[in-house]
Amino acid sequence: MTIEDTPEEWEIRATKTPFVGNKTSVRTDEVVMPDGSVVGRDYQVHPGSVGVLALDDEDRVLLIRQYRHPVRQKLWEIPAGLLDVPGENPLHAAQRELYEEAHVKAEDWRVLTDVYTSPGGCDEAIRIFLARGLSEADGKRFEVEHEEIDLEYARVPVAELVRGVLAGELHNNCLVVGVLSLVAARASGGLDQLRAAEAEWPARPFEA
């Protein structure tokens, strides 16, 4: 048996969208189950996101600390953002987010991993990139607003992040998945074996 996620879509008898927000919405589908019954399933419809695990020459990861209102915490995170434009190239979006949130650019980009954040209740897909060869970006800093006005920055050794994740001190999805994927990649073939930066992404098809 091959252990690999595969596309499948069960019959939908009816659908409605009871809430539409600024970036996301909530959809209710009436889905036919294997026994023939029909069950309502509510879920958030999300445009998708990208995250950037930016690794410097001293084996430190670039982090930002940001207030997240739904969980009432300030979380340490990697730079990340929405795929605002349908069909947007995720690499271009990741490069934009690294510039806007940290005023940093990178020479080497790879796909670290692709994940669904909460597939039982949301269709958000995130592509997490590994970015190396870091340097300060050219030009003026991006003008931030809202929660990003209060950002804090740090560069933290990979080993310290792994310790923090396993100790329950770090909780951001992209940070946890990204740093543990980095360690796993190093242990199984090395970082140069990672997928190319513009590898196909069926969850969010894009234009090259």
Task: Cite the active site residues.
Answer: 148
Q: Distance between CA atoms of 47 and 28, rounded to whole angstroms?
A: 17
- What's the one-letter identity of residue 66? Q
Provide CB contacts within 8 A for 41, sequence distance 6+.
Answer: 28, 29, 30, 31
Strand partners, 136: 104
| Nearest in space to 108 (alpha carbons), one of 180, 200, 184, 191 | 191
Written as six digits, the tokens of 40 are 């309502």
The one-letter amino acid code at 183 reads: V
Residue type present at position 171: H
> Of 59, 56, 65, 61, which Cα lies nearest the Cα of 101?
65
